[in-house]
Structure 1
């Protein structure tokens, strides 16, 4: 169940360039780490470690950079890889974790 902030954050993204994948109106996650990273971003923003709009700006920039780097071959596209890159930048800017701690955390998430 989503609380008000999570509902606001997710619905604000719908129909926008940074909109998460959906099927039949439900968020889609292929891997468990994707669900975890999405939840972490929501929780960190809700707790005030960064503003949700600042995170979205990072995500939009990550998507644009990927599209610019891959103008023809889009076969390697992965929304949550871009989402994760944006979250890494937001966490680094917040000073919550240093780069080493963040790398360890992400490796643990993907291995789980």
Structure 2
């Protein structure tokens, strides 16, 4: 069964708007997510296959509504919990987390 991110060959998503793609990041938080992921992979907390799998497990509606780095941030949070680095209760915005 294909996951929501596997849209190769599908139609109906419309054209891709690339007019604002002059910079690698659109906001400071995106650069921080990129750096955080790079550090966690480099330190061996998880690998890129695990990261990709975590991105692909996003619920379809959330995946389609999320930006590229929102998907990355989701995956980082999933993996930090999965690897026992933090608990869901320690992550703001996570189900069961401090501000849920």
Matched, 1:54 2:47: no
Question: TM-score under structure 1 normalisation?
Answer: 0.53
Measured after TM superposition, the shift of residue 77 of structure 1 is 4.0
Q: How many residues align?
A: 76
- Looking at structure 1, the residues matched to 90 and 29 of structure 2 have their Cα atoms a distance apart, in angstroms, of 17
Unaligned ranges ≥5, structure 2: 1-5, 8-17, 94-100
> What is the RMSD of the two structures over their aligned residues, measured on CA atoms?
3.0
For residues 2-46 of structure 1, what are the alpha-carbon distances to aligned partners after superposition, in whole Å with 9 as ceiling and x for unaligned?
xxxxxxxxxxxxxx98xxx9946x6x2221111111111111111
- Looking at structure 2, the residues matched to 93 and 41 of structure 1 have their Cα atoms a distance apart, in angstroms, of 15
Matched, 1:40 2:36: yes
Superposed structure 1 runs of 4+ greater than 6 Å apart: none
- Looking at structure 2, the residues matched to 45 and 102 of structure 1 have their Cα atoms a distance apart, in angstroms, of 20
Matched, 1:93 2:46: no
| Change beyond 3 A, Cα 1:97–1:77 | closer
- Which of 1 and 2 has greater Rg? 2
Higher relative contact order (CA 8 A, sep 6+): 1
